[in-house]
Amino acid sequence: MNILIVGAGLAGLSLARALFLRGIRADVVERRLDWTASGFGLFLPGNASRAFARLGLLPAITEAAEPIHRQDFYDQRGRHLGSIDAEAFWAGCGPCLGMPRAIMHAILRDSVADLPIRAGRTVAALRQVDGGCEVTFDDNSVATYDLVVGADGLFSTVRRLAVDPAPPTYTGNGSWRFFARNLPGIDAWTVMVGKGRTLLAEPVDRSTLYVYIERTQRAGDPLEFATGAELQALFADFGAPLGPLLEQLLPATPLHFSRIETVQPRTSVSGRVVLIGDAAHATSPSMAEGAGMACEDAILLADAIAAKDDLDAALDRYAARRKPRVEWVKAQSETRDRIRRLPTPISTRLLRYAGMAMYRRSYAPLLAEA
């Protein structure tokens, strides 16, 4: 079977690995010439680490990651609202881990080192034919595949060409990311919330924190590309434990801004084209399920491809199996975002008195295998 994977990010490489373990070699193309991922941090809940374990990668990931035993919640003044015993909740499923995204990407790259990955190449046109897809690449070469998988992210070319031309939808939130020295000694996934603002940090190694900042704002807001000094002013009322981290935002600090956008194509499977990862279901990061959902997609799609029965029927079953879980994560992400936009007295009371119940409700369905 000839399979093309478009995109060599976490989703595409997870699928390449899952297929390789089943004795299937796929062609992989990546539009960037330098396709080694940079990025900032990842938080892997237990279902995500379980999925990567099924790819045989958990030992390497665990060695590179920091264990996250606890999740702590504070208001903007630094008043403790509650904690989640993440280790206990996810026991029997998988560990919660924090790590740099670039290291995760490198582990996946190494796991498919025997596969040729053509960098600087992408799809220019795609036409479904009987029992497959005719693909025209951006160098005008043409090839026919039994299956094309769009793993090319939020702004997926494959999705636009073959499934749904609608652009991503802006959620109304912008985000900034950076790494900071762990001077406060943060030893847990830690978040502080104020109306329309979130400040989050997690350890990714013994001395480094991944810091995530989110703010409700309109598209085109003058502060979309805020400087470190402007972010310090916007969050000046945030106290310890995380507020002081913004003092590390110097002019030379690498700081990445992005709008939080979502996609909801009409389907993830259209004929012999399949979307996985953010190309299929990018959501707000409030559930931290991006990497985990991408890896689950990859494993179940690889199972469908490797099945001995009719491929079209197997793809339909794959789509039907994934839909409830994808929709659950999307709905829970939206609920969390709405809570953060509530007046501060209401949102903090919810976190203080119902935080554990909300956490259990959100994540309990993900304790089961995908």
Of 59-68, 300-309, 344-353, highest mean pLDDT: 59-68
Return the half-sphere exposure (C-beta side, CA atoms, 13 A cut-off) of residue 273.
27
Residue at token pair 């975002």: 337
Q: Which of 191, 179, 202 is nearest to 238 (CA)?
A: 191
DSSP assignment, residue 266?
S
What is the residue-averaged pLDDT of the chain? 95
pLDDT digits (tens, 9 = 90+) for 297-326: 999 999 999 997 899 999 999 999 999 999
37-51, 76-90, 104-118, 338-352: least confident range: 338-352
pLDDT digits (tens, 9 = 90+) for 1-29: 999 999 999 999 999 999 999 999 999 99
pLDDT digits (tens, 9 = 90+) for 181-235: 999 999 999 999 998 999 999 999 999 999 999 999 999 999 998 999 999 999 9
Q: Is the confidence at residue 113, as pLDDT, over 90?
A: yes
Determine if the peptide bond prior to 244 is cis (ω within 30°): no
pLDDT exceeding 70 applies to what percent of the chain?
A: 99
Predicted local distance difference test score (pLDDT) of residue 308: 77
Local confidence band at 38 (pLDDT 50, 70, 90 cut-offs): low
| Amino acid of residue 234 | L
Pairwise CA distance, residues 176 & 199, whole Å: 10
Greater model confidence, 199 or 348: 199
4, 46, 241, 305, 349 from 357: Cα distances, Å: 43, 18, 24, 38, 13
Q: Which of 156, 178, 175, 179 is nearest to 255 (CA)?
A: 178
The residue-averaged pLDDT of 136-165 equals 97
H helical segments located in 307-367 = 311-341, 344-363
Residue at token pair 């989050």: 200
Local confidence band at 342 (pLDDT 50, 70, 90 cut-offs): confident
User: What CATH topology corresponds to 3-65+101-168+262-338?
Assistant: FAD/NAD(P)-binding domain (3.50.50)
What is 159-211 written as a DSSP string? HHHHT--PPPEEEEEEEEEEEEE-TT---SEEEEEETTEEEEEEEEETTEEEE
57, 282, 302 from 295: Cα distances, Å: 11, 13, 11
Residue at token pair 């680490």: 49
DSSP assignment, residue 155?
T
How big is the CA angle at 339 (ends 187 and 358), to the nearest 5 degrees?
A: 65
pTM: 0.96
User: Which residues are bridge partners to 180 per DSSP?
Assistant: 209
Give the residue extent of every domain in the chain. 3-65+101-168+262-338
Pairwise CA distance, residues 243 & 330, whole Å: 29
Predicted local distance difference test score (pLDDT) of residue 36: 65
Pairwise CA distance, residues 304 & 311, whole Å: 7
The residue-averaged pLDDT of 261-265 equals 95
Predicted local distance difference test score (pLDDT) of residue 86: 97
54, 295, 307, 342 from 291: Cα distances, Å: 14, 6, 25, 28
Segments of the chain assigned E as strands: 3-6, 27-30, 41-44, 66-67, 70-75, 80-85, 97-100, 117-119, 123-129, 132-137, 142-145, 147-150, 169-181, 189-194, 197-205, 208-216, 256-262, 269-270, 273-275
pLDDT digits (tens, 9 = 90+) for 115-145: 989 999 999 999 999 999 999 999 999 999 9
User: Which residues are bridge partners to 212 per DSSP?
Assistant: 177, 200
> 179 near 40, Cβ under 8 Å?
yes
> 299 near 51, Cβ under 8 Å?
yes
Report the 10 Å Cβ neighbour count for 66: 22
